[in-house]
Amino acid sequence: MARRLQPTLTEIGDAARALRQGKLVAFPTETVYGLGGDATSDRAVAAIFSAKGRPSFNPLIVHVASATDAVQFAEVSANAQAVARSFWPGPLTMVLPRRRDCRISLLATAGLDSVAIRVPAHTIAQTLLTMTGLPLAAPSANPSGRLSPTSADHVLADLGDNVEFVIDGGACTVGVESTVLSLLDDKPRILRPGGVPAEAIAEVLQEPVTIETGAEDSAAPRSPGRLLSHYAPSLPVRLNAAAAEPGEILLGFGPSAPKDALNLSPIGDLQEAAANLFALLRRLDDPQYCAIAVMPVPETGLGIAINDRLRRAAAAR
């Protein structure tokens, strides 16, 4: 079983040494907990895939400490620089052309000529990246396709036998994964909605940003989180429910939800709902019920990311 570390410099240093030795360490970011490994090591990346049971064609996000570090691995255009200035550190991943001399394992990028890079805002993640001096491949620290972890307890329950350490940084503040923005061509495209709304990116770039919500079920996706059935609890999920049917349990949203239902946000706040999403789905994923019914969530701002996760959780498996 993995050892739980406290977020002290001494114990984060233990985690950094383990990462440099090719071991896996789970750590908090502002979005969800990541399963970190040396992104330049094929063996470490392979261990991530093995621990998650992740399809090899689904690329991993690489975390670096700063935009300056990103330039070592990707071709950073003027648009990418503008986005980085506005949203890094933060819950935004950019998919950029891979440099010819890029040291990132091809396994981490699924053999593509692009690389997905993020600069996390969480203090623990930043400290760990600085101490290791490495780019860290760090998908969500959960079995592939299952609910993403927003606490150290979630990671220990799901991956405790497959990771060396879990740094306990408490609950994640954003609660859904990063927005994934492709800048591989002239048209900026969001491949996965997340913690940064499309409208904010469009304002920085001064041009429209397309949101591609369709799933990629067989061909190699350019982004993590693009498989059809993803972020799924073990129970079936029924969307846009007004109430629970016999045998179901209800996940509510807003003040109109029944008082006895678990509620993403009793006041209808989308930021609160995003932060609670995975933790509440986990609590409801109980075999005494036949399904999870979910009340509608507005398709605006962070609601776009929330609904993207819910649609994938409800997809046929």
Query: Which tens digit of pLDDT belongs to each residue from 236-255?
Result: 999 999 999 999 999 999 99
Domains 3-211 and 237-314 share a fold: no
Does 3.40.50.11030 match the CATH number of domain 237-314?
yes
- Return all residues near 316 (Cβ < 8 A) that are at least 6 apart: 228, 229
- Using DSSP's 3-state secondary structure scheme, residue 63 falls into strand
**pLDDT at residue 218 in the model:** 46
Helix 198-205 and helix 78-87: axis angle, to 10°?
130
Domain ranges, ordered by start, for the chain = 3-211, 237-314
- Architecture of the structural domain at 3-211: Alpha-Beta Complex (3.90)
| Percent share of the chain, pLDDT over 70 | 93
Query: Is 223 a residue whose pLDDT tops 90?
Result: no
Give the whole-angstrom CA distance, residue 151 versus residue 171.
5
Q: What is the pLDDT of residues 59-116, one digit of tens each?
A: 899 999 999 999 999 999 999 999 999 999 999 999 999 999 999 998 898 888 899 9
Query: Is 231 a residue whose pLDDT tops 80?
Result: no
Quote the pTM value. 0.86
**pLDDT at residue 110 in the model:** 83
**pLDDT at residue 150 in the model:** 95
Query: Is 44 a residue whose pLDDT tops 60?
Result: yes
Put residue 268 in one of left, alpha, beta given phi > 0 → left and psi -120 to 50 → alpha. Answer: left
**pLDDT at residue 279 in the model:** 87
**pLDDT at residue 214 in the model:** 59
Query: Is 159 a residue whose pLDDT tops 80?
Result: yes
**pLDDT at residue 196 in the model:** 95
CB 118 within 8 A of CB 62: yes
CA atoms within 13 A of residue 125's CA, in its CB half-sphere:
31
